[in-house]
Amino acid sequence: MAVTIVILVSICVLCVGIHFEVLVRASSFMSRHHTRPKRRILLGVFATGAAHVTEVLAFGLGVFLLQQLNSQAQLAGDVQHQFLDSLYFSFACYSTLGFGDLVPMGPMKLFAGCEALAGLILIAWSASFLYLQMERYWRTD
């Protein structure tokens, strides 16, 4: 269980750091860049989308690593125990979509729950960032 917690906390800290840096840099770039305001918003959308994909990749790697290190932390269902299965599971958890075709077993349950909470928080952070940017730039076009 300690391995699960260390991997989980490390990835959560990494993802919050990634998200923070992307939003700070996107905001700075958007305020300095002299282009049409709606294009600035598009930049924000693409930047936050790239941040989310990077974070899902980090969690997917954590799921894959945890399966390799702990025989009790597994995914049940139609799974071939490849990285793509871990990535798919990570997308479903992070987005809180939760199809249910892959089911976490053992310590993976804790990992899946925390990933869903982290994804929810980071997605909300992106939504609020984009809302503020739209308030700032949308009307000036």
pLDDT band (50, 70, 90) for residue 80: confident
- Please, what are the domains in the chain? 2-30+39-140 (1.10.287.70)
SS (H, E, C) the chain: CHHHHHHHHHHHHHHHHHHHHHHHHHHHHHHHCCCCHHHHHHHHHHHHHHHHHHHHHHHHHHHHHHHHHCCCCEEEECCCCCHHHHHHHHHHHHCCCCCCCEEEECCHHHHHHHHHHHHHHHHHHHHHHHHHHHHHHHHHC
Asked whether residue 140 carries a pLDDT value surpassing 60, the answer given is: no
- Residue 17 has a pLDDT of 98
Asked whether residue 79 carries a pLDDT value surpassing 60, the answer given is: yes
Comparing 5-14, 63-72, 120-129, which segment has the lowest mean pLDDT? 63-72
* Residue pLDDT, tens place only, 22-75: 999 999 988 887 778 788 889 999 999 999 999 999 999 999 999 999 888 899
